[in-house]
Structure 1
Amino acid sequence: MDANQETQYNPYGMDEECRNCPGLCDVRERVVHGYGDVGADFVFVGEAPSAGAEETGVPFTGDDAGERFQHILGSVGLNYSLPDSDEPELDNAFLTYLTRCRHPERDPTEEEVVTCEPYLNADVRMINPEILVPVGQRALTELGAEYTTTPADELDVEDHHATTIRGRGFELAPMIHPADQTDAERDEYVDFFLDLAETDYRQTKGRRSR
């Protein structure tokens, strides 16, 4: 699957009419696939689209939490547009979710996460980032189980916020979800990420230089 380098919106052309989860197809407004730079070193993964992201079609946009998130990206040099933009100008960042559809009354089920996993796996495999950023507890739990050997009961996003966890092929850099962050936790993550960006975080994986 080749990326469309002309757009940051769903650059891999993933199925926008997906009907793999019957419990979501009739209640969702749209499928929200990944968005951003297909050559990114950093992939940010949330649990599922918010109402705002479902409206815009772009992960981590469309509401107050999305603005806080985009402000963080701007503060670390990954977003060149205003935090309230519905189509942020991202560089070296790709945004996606564990599940691509929103249920208006509940969180994703385990079955829905498993069903949607091939989309996330495809994003990660094709982008081949250096750092995975789980945004929120659910994303940390799922990515930790897939990419680290750390026991699940030790993967608390509050404990690991603004730290790195060594993974299999990637490092994880968990973030408390912006909707739940204090201003101090936001600033802590910005400072952590700026320090991380100055380190030699790139692994020896045959990646091209940026």
Structure 2
Amino acid sequence: MDVETRSNPFGMDEDCRNCPALCDTRESVVHGYGDVAADFLFVGERPGETADRTGVPFAGDEEFHPLTRTLGRLGLCDLTSDPARPHLEGAYLTYLTRCRHPDRVPTDEEVDTCEPYLDAEIRMINPELLIPVGQRALWRLGAEYTTRSADDLRIEDLHATTIRGRGFELVPMCDPREATESRRDEWVHAFADVMASDYRQTKGRRER
């Protein structure tokens, strides 16, 4: 699969103007990127500065983003590829929101407005596991795919655990840019165990 196919593979609107307050602050509308046959779909809160510039979620500059570097340890990212357009196998990267404001996080309304894009990616990829990256993504995916209350969805407590959900299992990850090395190691070891398990047989939903 070539880079063009991996970047926004479903041809979503790259000139979206649904959030007027973001149209003048963004460089790119950052839709999902990666392997469309992925077993693992990673969801962050919003594009960072490099992702906004390149249009690729979790893109790096001269070095890999901490998330893609973590995926490299699991064989899901080729760490000899371009950090700005990493070669992923088995993983797909996306965000709750597609546009970056340099001075603030997205509003709840902006997250709601972008939700159809995320829902469409989840439906079309049909992954085995969802990985919320950070607290905001955990709240959103937890509300949609588990029966837990927001008070029970604390990323510090649920990092590197598996949550049985409705249709999908979630494996939350603390934001790797902010996590300590030991917390990143904890998630890698836990996810390696998940990858070695019969996770495809435990999700309780339709097969591809």
TM range (shorter): over 0.9
- Once the two structures are TM-superposed, the CA of residue 67 in structure 1 deviates from its matched residue by 2.1
Query: What are the equivalent positions in structure 2 for 1:15-164 lying under 5 Å apart?
Result: 15-62=13-60, 67-82=65-80, 85-164=83-162
Question: In structure 2, how many angstroms separate the alpha carbons of the residues matched to 1:99 and 1:12?
Answer: 16
The two structures have a TM-score, normalised by structure 1, of 0.92
Contact 1:67 1:84 in 2 (8 A): no
Question: In structure 1, how many angstroms separate the alpha carbons of the residues matched to 2:106 and 2:29?
Answer: 14
Contact 2:42 2:93 in 1 (8 A): yes
The residue that corresponds to 2:170 in the other structure is 172
Q: Does residue 193 of structure 1 match 2:191? A: yes
Judged with a 3 Å threshold, the aligned counterparts in structure 2 of structure 1 residues 48 and 83 are, in CA distance, closer, same or farther, namely farther
Moved segments of 4+, more than 6 Å: none
Contact 1:71 1:83 in 2 (8 A): no
Judged with a 3 Å threshold, the aligned counterparts in structure 2 of structure 1 residues 34 and 14 are, in CA distance, closer, same or farther, namely same
Contact 2:167 2:204 in 1 (8 A): no
RMSD: 2.0
Consecutive unaligned residues in structure 1, runs of 5 or more = none
The two structures have a TM-score, normalised by structure 2, of 0.93
Kindly indicate which of the two structures has a greater share of residues assigned to strand: 2
CA offset digits 1:129-182 (Å, max 9, x no partner): 110000000000111011110111010001000001111100000000011110
Question: In structure 1, how many angstroms separate the alpha carbons of the residues matched to 2:114 and 2:21?
Answer: 13
CA offset digits 1:167-207 (Å, max 9, x no partner): 11000000000111100011111111111001011135343
CA offset digits 1:54-79 (Å, max 9, x no partner): 11211111269962111110101100
Contact 2:147 2:165 in 1 (8 A): yes
The residue that corresponds to 1:207 in the other structure is 207
Q: Does residue 8 of structure 1 match 2:6? A: yes
Larger CA deviation: 171-180 vs 84-93: 84-93
Contact 1:24 1:103 in 2 (8 A): yes
Question: In structure 2, how many angstroms separate the alpha carbons of the residues matched to 1:157 and 1:46?
Answer: 13
Question: In structure 2, how many angstroms separate the alpha carbons of the residues matched to 1:74 and 1:52?
Answer: 19
SS in 1 for 2:9: coil
Contact 2:131 2:171 in 1 (8 A): yes
How many residues were matched structurally? Answer: 206
Judged with a 3 Å threshold, the aligned counterparts in structure 2 of structure 1 residues 67 and 48 are, in CA distance, closer, same or farther, namely same
Question: In structure 1, how many angstroms separate the alpha carbons of the residues matched to 2:82 and 2:184?
Answer: 17
